Structure 1
Amino acid sequence: MRTPLLGALAAALLATGSAVCLAPAAAVPIPGGQATTLFLPGADGVPINAVITAPPDLAEHRNPLVLQPSGWGMPAVGSIGSAYKLSSGEGFVSIEYTARGMYLSGGEVDLLGEKDAEDASALIDWAIANLNIDPDRIAIAGGSYGAGMSLIAAAHDPRIKAIVADSPPGDVTEALAPNGTPKTGGPIALTVAGAATNRFSPELVTHGLDAIVNHNANAFAALPNRHLLAKAIPQLNANGTAVFLAHDWQDSLLPVGPIYSMFDQLTGPKMLYVVPGDHSTGGGAGGVAGLPNSIWDAGLRWLYHYVNGADNGIDREPTVNIQPANTVSLLPDPAALVHFSSVGAAEFAAREFALSAPGGGVMGADRGESWSQAMISTPTTAVAAIPYVTGSLAQLGLAPAIPLGTVDRNAAGVWRTEPFAGGGVLSGTPHLRITAAPPGPDLTMIGILYDESPDGTGKTISYWPITRHGLTPGVPATLEWDLAPTYWNLAPGHRLTLTVTTQDPIPFESSTPMGSTVVFGSPSAVELPVSGS
């Protein structure tokens, strides 16, 4: 006598036909349920490799369904820990699957395109037809690339009632080339991570090579879903989808900025967690291994309530849950969180600090002061971050401190506030307005805001670059840009220090010619959402 899951497996073999060359395993009993791996039919018949985890009484009643798309360069078991918790705890059927074009799934990588969204709908169709699924209790959950897959799928298919997305891409172009400034390793890291397992279309190869070889910041501008979150929000609102988002403050691959700035645009049930760490380090252990984790524990409760109707109180909890970016977040600590009704409620009003000539280095100078000072475009010790390292260390409370006295004042503008005697909190998005005369038509500037301790060392609070083209050489231009949002506790006696440089080669590629002269000038200022004095 075959199990219900094994019967579904046989149906999947018939559906995918000759496209499948590997025989799937039989359903395997696991504590509290059963699991198997197989191939399911995608939107256009492309075989999608999947792992199904189900409760033991699958055939006895209608079951809730959660799709769990894998991350970039990861196989279908990328969320096995959360899948097991969902199937053994609240009776969910979990379909973990690898996106088309990756690992054993057929087709070519769609990079969060329409085919990826249609595949999710096809898997839902198949599950309803074969796994005794309740069509009114369907969810999707994922991390990183899988979180982006979850956003586009839920926007596309109104049957998806709830979503959990940990560290999703908010804007693909901005993630790879923020403000027109190519990241040094972003496209390369994604290519290396997927080179051995992914099948890229000729078009995607062209875009990737253009970004890597030609350093073209606009290489991915033609992607249909590059503004992924902005495109998804209107449809998520129309569908009434219950949206749970989580992110990491220091994420160097898929930055938190778009998620943080657009979260309040969601009008349905919603919740946000932001914690210290680099890409997907805050929630990764909870999703992949099922370990105790504040993000995934809350995310599972989100699904239990909005899909299964569990009265667990999560709908009455604060909407925005923040752990300050300079606190340790390796282990779940609910006491470390601060709570708000919205992102807007968490942000402080901005205070403008006029900048003096860098030679004086005053943040909070006389606004009427007129000055100019030449800088040489060359690297110095003002380094924004080491991708995948700085943020991971921050999660452990080990973020590196830079001796700010070693920053070459001939290569970077450096400005400092007075010490905050009683400490303070920086909550929101710092904004820079810098006047500079470029040496040529192209200019890159990188702003870094530090928490400077009394010993003169500084830890990176926030940073971001900007690149502008078509400027007139030697003619002052005003560049305005936001740094990354943050929530940072400033200790008594510490001060805020800003550096602006034109070369920071570890995280970013610069369009400012090395060795050229850039003239900084007035008026220049920084707006900081900071409390305290």
Structure 2
Amino acid sequence: MLTTGLFAGGLAPARADRQASTPWPGGRWEPGSARYGTTIVSNVPVRMDDGVTLTATVAYPADPATGRRAAGRFPVILQQTPYTDDVNSFFVPYGYIFATVRSRGAGTSGGEFGYVSARDHRDGVRTVDWAAHELDGSNGIIGGYGCSYAGETQLYTAANVGRGSPLKAIIPTCTAQDYLRETFLVNGILTGDFPFLRRAAASVGDTPSAKALFADLVANIESGGDAAYSRDFWRARQPITFAQSIVDNDIPALLWSGWDDVVIRGATEFYTALQNAYHDRPVQAPMDPRQPTTGRYQIIVGPWGHGQGLDNTIMLEWYDTWLKRKNTGIERTDTPMHLYELRTDRWINAARYPIVPDYTTYYLHANGALKPSRSSRGSDSITWAQPSEAGSTLTYSTPPLADGATLAGPVSAAVYASSSNTNLQLIATLADVAPDGTAAPITFGAVLGSQRALDPAKNWRDRNGTIIRPFARLTGDDYLTPGVVTRFDIALHPRLWAVLPGHSLRLTLTTQTPASACTGFNILPCALTAPAQASVAGGAYRIQRGPAWPSSVSLPLLRAGCFRTAAGAVTPTSGGLSQPMDWSAKGPGNPCQR
């Protein structure tokens, strides 16, 4: 999948650092010279335990003078994907075998396509066994590789291989998505990424079983069937529920995402889940502000979208650490989050997520004001229509922040409203407004009124009890009573954003995404299922303010510039994008997290 930027605008690419080349993460490793050439073998059969045969393509180290396979045995980097037979030959000259196995029912692989089904999970375990014990030239040590679907297969495989498996480390990039809260649906509303499902069969080889699965899935979701909710189909495909098993199986993971990725919420929360699992805490809880961290589970988040910003050389260091047991130092850090701060164009390191333990709440006031004090009673009206139409948009702005601020993490809005019909659709957008009035969108979230119910056990709260990341159940519809004021919690996607001195923050409430923004892949709320459309269309809403109905937005604000800048550099394999080079401890001068 590809994605466009927030409101189809995109985020700026990572700025090339002007500094000299810096040491690789950990400071004790260099990629060294490539010793081997590459030779590729296609159409290698991989037999599953039920007799179905998958197809693999294998790249072997070769003698650079003769082109023949090099003598010896090598660790294997394994990609399991429905999309391609291609291999990433970058790793091979450094002494790795790279094997791509096409998923069941995709390409020339046999069997029925299952979309990371339980059967695919078993295939993952069997494929690791094949790569370790049956693949010619393997030394029995395996690493996982791949982005998006191929990242997700790593998670399920790592969760199911058992402790002591040949699988020793994984790099699940652009993955760990929550399909119902950020990828194909956002809290009951179809996203701009949803049309991908209509064309997905072609991307996996147009096999009959893939065509049937995706056609049925699209029809089921659009009609408001079980797949439009958090029921059996998606519950079996919720990566975060497998985090504890990955930790129990002792498999390190390097996650990789971008602030403009379609999986940014899932990736950052999966980091939290792995850290929690390692320290015997509930995997779907927020990390404790005093919780220690482990370098076995790390994440990179840059200023890019889905499938972008991946660096082969940093991945090589991760594989060298865990597959070849080299003393790289990459794992010895107490700040395993490597994050790009938007607007200042710099890398910082953090430890715990959520990053901010005490949120700052701003309340909706009359005349479009957003203030830290509660307002007097009042209301504003908004109608269900395109934002270009009159009466379809409400805005609330803070005073200028004289010293600026750092906004770090997920954002939450609590809106008290009534509807003229039995449902409601609200979209909340947070923007950075410069003194000249220029506005830059930071993040957004949405709620469908009939799926407003939250799971109290999975909500995240700060130390004051404020909900900072609401978790919607999404198991069914509970329709509204017209005219009755109800609370709606909106989860806005996480960001690390520098608010410059003198800038203000603006919360905008709308009821539809501009049609022009829904023409490309993104996770904006763009369309409704049939039952939602029937119950939402034509609605008029009253947004309430005051002591009884304190509509507000809760922000993860820290003082401006409190994170120490970490070194970044453009590497030979970064595609011209800056990558985080200093993964060291937070150290003095970095008071955002102690």
Q: Same fold (TM over 0.5)?
A: yes
Report how far residue 112 of structure 1 moved.
1.2
Counterpart position of 2:510:
501
Report how far residue 231 of structure 1 moved.
1.9
Counterpart position of 1:105:
109
- Residue from 231, 256, 259 that aligns with 1:249: 259
Residue 322 of structure 1 aligns with an amino acid whose one-letter code is L
Inter-CA distance 481–425: structure 2 relative to 1 (3 Å threshold): same
Contact 2:36/2:62, CA 8 A, preserved across alignment: no
Distance (whole Å) between structure 2 residues aligned to residue 279 and residue 235 of structure 1: 26
Counterpart position of 2:303:
276
Inter-CA distance 131–347: structure 2 relative to 1 (3 Å threshold): farther
Inter-CA distance 226–426: structure 2 relative to 1 (3 Å threshold): farther
2:374 paired with 1:367: yes
2:423 paired with 1:466: no
Distance (whole Å) between structure 1 residues aligned to residue 135 and residue 375 of structure 2: 73
Counterpart position of 1:53:
59
Residue 556 of structure 2 aligns with an amino acid whose one-letter code is P
Distance (whole Å) between structure 2 residues aligned to residue 529 and residue 452 of structure 1: 17
SS of the residue aligned with 1:248?
Answer: strand
- Residue from 392, 397, 400 that aligns with 1:411: 392
Report how far residue 352 of structure 1 moved.
0.7
Distance (whole Å) between structure 1 residues aligned to residue 506 and residue 483 of structure 2: 28
Alignment of 1:20-59 (within 5 A): 32-43=37-48, 44-56=50-62
Calculate the TM-score normalised by the size of structure 2.
Answer: 0.70
Counterpart position of 2:30:
none
Distance (whole Å) between structure 1 residues aligned to residue 509 and residue 404 of structure 2: 24
* Residue segments in structure 2 that go unaligned for 5+ positions in a row: 1-34, 64-68, 279-293, 451-478, 519-523, 561-594
Counterpart position of 2:184:
176
Q: Give the structure with the larger helix fraction.
A: 1
Distance (whole Å) between structure 2 residues aligned to residue 203 and residue 39 of structure 1: 26
Counterpart position of 1:129:
134
2:559 paired with 1:529: no
Percent of paired sites with the same residue: 23
Residue 146 of structure 1 aligns with an amino acid whose one-letter code is A
* Residue segments in structure 1 that go unaligned for 5+ positions in a row: 1-29, 284-292, 329-335, 382-407
Counterpart position of 1:191:
198
Higher RCO (Cα < 8 Å, 6 or more apart): 2
Counterpart position of 2:76:
65
Deviations 1:99-151 (A, max 9, x none): 2222222222211112222222322333322424233x211110011101111
Distance (whole Å) between structure 1 residues aligned to residue 272 and residue 378 of structure 2: 40
Alignment of 1:389-400 (within 5 A): none
Counterpart position of 1:349:
358
Deviations 1:486-517 (A, max 9, x none): 10011222111111111115332254644431
Inter-CA distance 216–460: structure 2 relative to 1 (3 Å threshold): farther
SS of the residue aligned with 2:421?
Answer: coil
Contact 1:449/1:498, CA 8 A, preserved across alignment: yes
Alignment of 1:375-386 (within 5 A): 375-381=382-388
Inter-CA distance 226–156: structure 2 relative to 1 (3 Å threshold): same
Contact 1:423/1:492, CA 8 A, preserved across alignment: yes
Deviations 1:410-469 (A, max 9, x none): 212200011122222100111100011012111111111011122222121111111122
SS of the residue aligned with 1:75?
Answer: coil
Distance (whole Å) between structure 1 residues aligned to residue 119 and residue 206 of structure 2: 16
Counterpart position of 2:340:
323
Counterpart position of 2:249:
239
Deviations 1:285-306 (A, max 9, x none): xxxxxxxx3xx43222111101
Residue 414 of structure 2 aligns with an amino acid whose one-letter code is R
Distance (whole Å) between structure 2 residues aligned to residue 107 and residue 449 of structure 1: 46
Counterpart position of 2:326:
310
Alignment of 1:79-158 (within 5 A): 80=87, 83-89=88-94, 91-127=95-131, 128-135=133-140, 137-158=141-162
Distance (whole Å) between structure 2 residues aligned to residue 278 and residue 45 of structure 1: 39
Deviations 1:165-198 (A, max 9, x none): 1111422232211212222x32321331433624
Calculate the TM-score normalised by the size of structure 1.
Answer: 0.78
Contact 1:65/1:139, CA 8 A, preserved across alignment: yes
Inter-CA distance 212–39: structure 2 relative to 1 (3 Å threshold): farther
Contact 2:380/2:544, CA 8 A, preserved across alignment: yes
Distance (whole Å) between structure 2 residues aligned to residue 419 and residue 217 of structure 1: 44
Distance (whole Å) between structure 2 residues aligned to residue 327 and residue 131 of structure 1: 49
Counterpart position of 1:519:
542
Report how far residue 219 of structure 1 moved.
5.6
Distance (whole Å) between structure 2 residues aligned to residue 489 and residue 85 of structure 1: 36
